[in-house]
Amino acid sequence: MHESTDPEPATRIHDTLMRGQGFDFVDAATMRAWLETTGPLDDWEDFAGSWNRLATDSYLARLGKHRRRRHAVFSLDGVDTPVPAIRRQPHQPHYQTLDYNPLQGDIERWFEPVEDAVATSRSLGTILRHCQRFFGALAPRVARWHTEVHQFRIEARAGTPGLPTPEGRHRDGVDYVLVLLIDRENIASGTTSIHAPDGTEIGHFTLTRAFDAALVDDRRVFHGVTAVEALDPDAAAHRDVLVVTLRADDRADQPR
């Protein structure tokens, strides 16, 4: 972990780590500094408050498990584009093959869309712009990124832990992943583990403060998160995260 409020050197440090090991943890102070250098976060309170309005994941509910989520798709121009744009795409399903999601693969899952006010918020725009620049610098030949935004709330209830990754240790079937902690209330655990393709654990960390983040090269490593449990079983308990995934529209154009 690296503490820094000077975003440019920090970005170079984390870029080097991502290239070397395929993942990195970014502490809240560093991540917030990066984002504030990229764009405004002045509507963060409203942005974070939207997690209180997420819809139940009906697909997971059929399996006796629980979480809340919303979903949206964006197109991000590559960093070599003269004026890199970010465009929201029409609402569409989230799809993963069984190779990547043995629990719910090979089905089109239609989730409630990210609210328009959230999709056009300054905070989300800043996060997407940062992803465009940071991950784009790792693969500068990519002309366009298919980008999915997932709002997740994992709730822990009395006697029932919440499962941030009910599919277990997995890859998402994309190129890069940002996991950004939005809020964490009355919970224990929720530790992220990173694994080599052979299953060997090569790192672990826990997102505990708003803006703590995980950066993952999904082509190279697997990730998972342990269950969360309520510290006070009589009080509300949740873990809120924003997950942004980037997949090159032309995979053949990506350095490996």
pLDDT in tens, 113-167: 999 999 999 999 999 999 999 999 999 999 999 999 999 999 988 778 888 777 7
How big is the CA angle at 243 (ends 59 and 150), to the nearest 5 degrees?
A: 40
Report pLDDT for 146. 97
Extended beta strands in 60-135, E state: 68-77, 86-88, 94-96, 107-109
- Distance set, CA 150 to CA 6, 142, 194, 201 (Å): 28, 22, 20, 25
pLDDT digits (tens, 9 = 90+) for 140-153: 999 999 999 999 99
Q: 246 - beta bridge partners?
A: 147, 176
Residue 221 clears pLDDT 70, i.e. is over it: yes
Kindly state the DSSP code that residue 114 receives in the 8-state scheme.
P
Q: What CATH number does the domain located at 27-250 have?
A: 2.60.120.620
Closest-CA residue to 2 (of 22, 18, 32, 24):
24
Question: What backbone torsions phi and psi does residue 102 show, to the nearest 5 degrees?
Answer: -65, -15
| pLDDT at residue 111 is higher than 70 | yes
Mean pLDDT of 50-74: 83
Which residue ranges make up each domain of the chain? Answer: 27-250
pLDDT of residue 102: 60
Would you place residue 252 in the very low, low, confident or very high pLDDT band (cuts 50, 70, 90)? very low
Rounded average pLDDT over 90-98:
81
pLDDT of the residue at 67? 86
Q: Which has more pLDDT, 187 or 103?
A: 187
pLDDT tier, 183 (very low <50, low <70, confident <90, very high otherwise): very high
Q: 256 falls in which pLDDT band (50, 70, 90)?
A: very low
Average pLDDT over residues 228-242: 94
pLDDT grade for 66, boundaries at 50, 70 and 90:
confident
Mean pLDDT of the chain: 88
What share of the chain in percent tops pLDDT 90?
71
Confidence of residue 70 (pLDDT cuts 50, 70, 90): very high
Q: Is the confidence at residue 205, as pLDDT, over 60?
A: yes
Tell me what pLDDT residue 75 has.
97
pLDDT given for residue 188 in this prediction? 93
d(CA 172, CA 152) in angstroms, rounded, equals 15
Cα–Cα distances in Å, from 207 out to 93, 144, 146, 193, 212? 28, 30, 26, 11, 5
Residue whose pair of structure tokens reads 């920090």 in the numeric block: 10
